Each structure stands twice: as C-alpha cells, then as structure tokens.
Amino acid sequence: MKNMIKQYETSAIPPLGGGGARSISVLSPATVANVVCGFDILGFALNNPTDEFTVSLSNEVGVQIINNDDFNLPTNPEINVSGAALLAMLEECTDVKGFTLISKKNIKPGSGIGSSAASAAGPVVAANVLLNNRFSKSDLVRFAMFGEKVASGVKHADNIAPAIYGGVTLIRSIFPLDIISIDAPPLHVTVVHPQIEVRTADARQILKQNVLLKDAIKQWGNIAGLVAGLIQHNYDLIGRSLEDVIIEPVRSILIPGFNEVKQKCKDAGALGGGISGSGPSIFMLSKDAATAKAVEAVMKDVYNRIGLDYQTHLTTINQEGVKVV
C-alpha cells in the first residue's frame, strides 16, 4: 500500500490553489447503524476496524480506482460505492477533471458494520481536503449517499453520518438533510461478525410494509428514550430503550444464534444491543471495558458451540469520524 501511494504521488498534479499535499490518505471507520430501535435514523462510529483510502487529483476525466485488497470490487466508478460518491462530488466541481482512488478495504463487505458507508465517506472526505475543504460535512454526507444507493438501492445516512461527523448521530431528515450530533456517555462496544453474508438489499426486502399502531407507539417511545438516555448519560435509560419491536424480529431469523447471543450478553452485564445495520454482525454496549470483554467471551462461546466461524471486535465510539493520516 505505501509503495503504491508513494509511486503515484511523484506524478500527481498539485491540488487546487497551488502547493500543499499531492494526495490525501484517510482512515474511514466502521459504523453501527439503526442502534436497535432507530432504523435508518441512528448510528455511531467505531474506533476499529477502519478502511484505508488515498485520493489524488487527476488530469483524466472521471474517477480511476485502484483496489489494493482481495475483495474484487468493481473498478467502474458508476457501480463502485466509492466511485459513485466521488462522481457525485465531481458534478459540483466544474474546475476539477477527476480523481484517482487507491482503496484498501479492511471492513468486509456485507458484514453489517458499515463497509459501504466507509467506502463512500472516506474518499469524499479525502477529496474535500484536496479541494481546500470547500464542502460542508452535510454536503459530504449528501455525496456519500450516492454510494450507499449503489450498495443497497436506497439513499440512507445512518452509517454515513457518524462516519463523517464522528460519535453518535441522529438523522432527523434525509430530504432535506438534517443531522444532529448526540453527546453520548463513554460506551464500550463489542461486535461479533458471524462469517455469513447478509446483503443490505435482501435484508430490506423481507421487512414488513405495514406496522401496527401499537408497535409504532412502542418503537417511538424507545427511540425517544434512547436519545434522551444518551444525552443525559443515563445508562439505565439507555438499556431500557434498546428494544426493537419492528425490524429485529424479522431480520434476526437471518442470523444463527442471535437470540441466544443477545440474552446471554445481557446476562453478562451488557446494557443491550442487537443487529448492527442489516446484519449479520451483532453489537452490544457496555459501561466498562471489563464487561465488554466478558460479553466477547459469551459471543465466542455461543459461536464455538454452534460451529460457525466468526470475528469479534472490542472497541469504543469513535468521536472523530474519518481521519486524515
């Protein structure tokens, strides 16, 4: 990766305005979306894992993509998540011909921890630095949503917003964009990724199109309670509000061991948790590192017994979002 970046930097043109860096490298974080009851409106960024992207200005029209990993993602920018986001940005940059992107994915596509959002958010943040930060964070989310549409067929921002803003975010509205950062208390996050793939587009197709009023009322109460608990740094209220009566009962059938993992993790002291994004990853929130570690042991025990390969992440909430390195 470093050799590829160094080789390209020797021939890249300077950024607009003259001088400065010839290319920008960033780390783009994994994210947890929905946060149980907040379907499509709540999300938070993780300190690990992260994807690596390097963006350079190009004399060629459009977006050229170099993949430096083994995921065999398309290099045609129109059907590549990163490429679609950068193309959307280029449409509003009449003084820029194009970008070259070097991409190294560490967040496995289809894992449920915002792989597509990391791919969309990281490159537009890097490109914006090259352009002397001419666009706002809200603009960057708007561009990155074109990438999410490539991935899932729907423009949604609950992964992208925390990836770009950092921390916990509430998307009050997409059209027009209205993103609110939430001052959450310190939280430790344990994630288990069973090694199966659940495509976001497929996970959306199985959702019910009609919701009972009594379920909607209960869900609204949980969303309001969760947001209030985060703002008040009230761990008990956070735990009571981590309940989903609409999405989780449907999607959880796609994830082996889900109900057992969730219950045993809560028994081990977790505040609560659920499906990360559309799955198959499961996340749990804890007040302290020791509890988060005990929760990881529970997750490992369940999947060892089931006989399903898995990967775990012990981390905290990333307050910065995409980071220039």
Active-site residues: which are they? Answer: 148, 200
Question: 81-90 and 137-152 are packed helices; what angle lies between their axes, rounded to 10 degrees?
Answer: 140
CA 162, CA 159: separation in Å to the nearest integer?
A: 6
Token pair 């994915």: residue: 105
> Do the beta carbons of residue 280 and residue 309 sit within 8 Å?
no
> Do the beta carbons of residue 112 and residue 278 sit within 8 Å?
yes
Q: Is residue 136 classed as helix, strand or coil in its secondary structure?
A: coil
Amino acid at residue number 119: S
What DSSP character marks residue 283? E
State the alpha helices, DSSP H only, in the chain.
2-9, 81-90, 115-130, 137-152, 160-165, 200-205, 213-232, 235-241, 248-251, 258-267, 289-306
- Closest to 312 in 3D by CA, of 195, 167, 200, 198: 195
Q: How many CA atoms lie within 13 A of 250 on its CB side?
A: 15
Whole-number CA gyration radius for the chain:
20
Those residues with Cβ within 8 angstroms of residue 253's Cβ, 6 or more apart along the chain or in another chain: none
CA 150, CA 50: separation in Å to the nearest integer?
A: 20
> Do the beta carbons of residue 244 and residue 36 sit within 8 Å?
yes
Burial class (CB in 10 A: 0-12, 13-18, 19+), 209: exposed
**Element counts in the chain: helices (H) and strands (E):** 11, 11
